[in-house]
Structure 1
Amino acid sequence: MTWLVTGGAGYIGSHVVRAFGEAGIAVVVVDDLSSGHRDYVPDGVPFVEASILDTAALTEAIRAHGVTGVVHLAGFKYAGVSVQRPLHTYEQNVTGTAHLLEAMVATGVTDLVFSSSAATYGTPRVDLVTEATETHPESPYGESKLIGEWLIADAGRAHGIRHTSLRYFNVVGSLPGLADTSPHNLFPLVVQALTQGRTPRINGDDYATPDGTNVRDYVHVVDLAAAHVAAAKALAAGRELERVYNLGSGDGLSVKQIMDAFAQVTGLDFTPEIGPRRPGDPDRIVADGTLAARDIGWAMRHTVQDMVASAWAARPSA
């Protein structure tokens, strides 16, 4: 059994690759390195530098390495930037997924775990998001992920592809040497500010939450990666999975709680600056992970202190 991991040189993808390795499952990585890092791919893991828009390269990689299943993480993942770059976002996330499916059909590969997103929900109108919550994406990124789910489901019906989509919320933490380098995510922004001697910033402290800062679901990337392995194993064993799973905590953390954890873990005494709200930021987005716990062993095995400590230890200057 060998699994192809698209985007396996990226932050989340590299952790998924490590999790497969720890489970004794062979992987091959395809990544165009537009945001990934070649040195995030472990020695001994086959690496193909190619775009998911290149059907021929994908087909060759699948055939050359005897691939039996795919974890599809490659894509353009910046929701805010996608508003300015909708055509690029759709090309990478929708057209790219279509090319991958074409390569899978051509080679007879039928198992697929898809990296989806909480952005498919937009601003939920409920306190606790379940898989039955209506989807209202509010960015080209969220729209492209939802269309990707539809496209995969259509290919499943037409070509027998067995699949599940994992909707991520806020993925944080790191294994050593695999830092999150996104210029848009909260954890790397806080780490960068602290390492540069600047004060981290909170965007708004007047939300309808216990401490006034907005509440989000934060999940450790190692827990997330383990869920991918469990989903892949289930599909490979012929088990039927739900079409979609939320990988959420069920209770969430506020931005202030995250800041407090950074101060505690790093020993740096700071009071965050308070800036204005960002337009459209909801008070609270928290997801129920019950279905994923039932079917693929999803669990929050890391505390907020674990999340912060691992992100701080993996910072580039450490």
Structure 2
Amino acid sequence: MSVLVTGGAGYIGSHTVHQLVEAGHNVIVVDNFYSGHRWAVHPQAKLIEADAGDRSKMAEVIKEYDIQSVIHFAAHMVVPESVSNPLKYYLNNVATSANLLAACVESGVDKFIFSSTAAVYGNPDSVLVSEDVPTAPINPYGTTKLITEWMLRDLVDSHKEKFRFVALRYFNVAGAKLDGKLGQATPNATHLIKVTCEAACGLRESVSIFGTDYPTTDGTCIRDYIHVDDLARAHLDALAYLERKGDSATFNCGYGNGFSVRAVLETVQKVSGVDFLICEEKRRAGDPVSLIANADRIRQVLGWQPKYNDLELICRSAYQWESQLSIHAKVAV
């Protein structure tokens, strides 16, 4: 089938596009290159430079390529920036999604997969966070994602059998293809493993730990890290589920393992052999103490079977990618 992927030149989007093409789908990528790269798009995918929030353009693309399924990645996703500039996030993440959904509904698209986030949970009381835990985001980024989930829910209620969706709530995504051909190249990245690998490669003078007084074993935040290719696979499983007429649903994407910030830094130091400088700073606004996924539902309902549930493997793949990223960046446009 023909699948429209918004933000398909970005980190997670490009990995998903590669898997979609390899699975035999006809893939149309829409990206405005805010943070994506042309070289990251699979050469067999059709690439259209446009804004996913351009309603008329999206309707035109959907019609021209007979699109019935959309995977929506295009969003801003830097938590501290969302705190300092919330309107930027509401305009892009919420308004863009609303315009894209309007184009989909008007054009008869009946399957939609949404890139959501564990940030919708805020600071949950549960050690393992299931999809049934109350949503209570503590930063604008998480709020904008939750609002889009609400829009999807309301569309299903109003369109009954004519529209179905899957929302995938990502935990912390990291790593790169094991063959070294694709990884994260987001400019000014803030993701911990990416930043730490940059420090190991000499691209940063140090790595900061934001907060060492959290109620955890070593005082630093705890997160569930998922390899990007396992996450990409979840999108293909979600697409197959919707093709089987599965009901609209929300799924956590994580492994159920929690690692502290210090543990991640130590792992990157181990795989890189570099003892980079670590600085301790005050807590950062919008950071929850701990986020660990209960991912039973996605395994049971979608049949998702992750292959790379190993922090050391994730960090090693990220470091290997970072160490030779300049080779890929030379062809970036």
Short-chain TM bin: over 0.9
CA distance in 1, matches of 2:74, 2:120: 17
Which residue of the partner structure matches residue 238 of structure 2?
Answer: 231
Q: Is the 8 A contact 1:247 1:298 kept in 2?
A: no
Residue by residue over 1:263-304, the C-alpha shift from the partner in whole angstroms, topping out at 9 and shown as x without a partner, is 221122356333333356443221100001111233442111
Say whether 1:173 aligns with 2:161: no
Question: How high is the sequence identity, in percent, across the aligned residues?
Answer: 39
Q: TM-score, normalised by structure 1?
A: 0.94
Of stretches 206-215 and 60-69 in structure 1, the one that deviates more from structure 2 is 206-215
Provide the TM-score with structure 2 as the length reference: 0.90
User: For 1:192-231, what per-residue CA distance to the aligned partner results, in whole angstroms no more than 9, with x for missing partners?
Assistant: 2222273433233343323332211110110000000000
User: How do residues 32-71 of structure 1 correspond to structure 2 at under 5 angstroms?
Assistant: 32-71=32-71
Aligned counterpart, 1:222: 229
Unmatched tracts of structure 2, length 5 or more: 328-333
Corresponding residue to 1:261 among 259, 267, 275: 267
Tell me which residue corresponds to 1:76: 76
- The 1:117/1:35 distance shift into structure 2, 3 A limit, reads same
Alignment CA distance shift 1:4-1:132 (3 Å):
same
Name the counterpart of 1:162.
Answer: 164
Amino acid at match of 2:316: A
**Alignment match, 2:304:** 298
**Which whole-Å CA distance do the structure 2 matches of 1:300 and 1:22 have between them?**
18
Aligned to 2:220: 213
SS in 1 for 2:275: coil
Aligned residue pairs total: 317
Q: How does 1:9-158 map to 2 (within 5 A)?
A: 9-158=9-158
Q: Does structure 2 conserve the Cα–Cα contact (< 8 Å) formed by 1:172 and 1:218?
A: yes
Helix, strand or coil at the partner of 2:114: strand
* Aligned equivalent of 2:279, options 273, 279, 283: 273
Aligned equivalent of 2:331: none
* Structure 1 position 44, deviation (Å): 2.3
SS at match of 1:244: strand
Q: CA deviation at 1:165?
A: 0.5
Q: 1:264 to 1:28 in 2, by over 3 A?
A: same
Moved more, 172-181 or 222-231: 172-181
Alignment gaps of 5+ in structure 1: none
Question: Within 2, Cα distance between the matches of 1:272 and 1:83?
Answer: 25
CA–CA separation in structure 2 for the residues paired with 1:300 and 1:201: 30
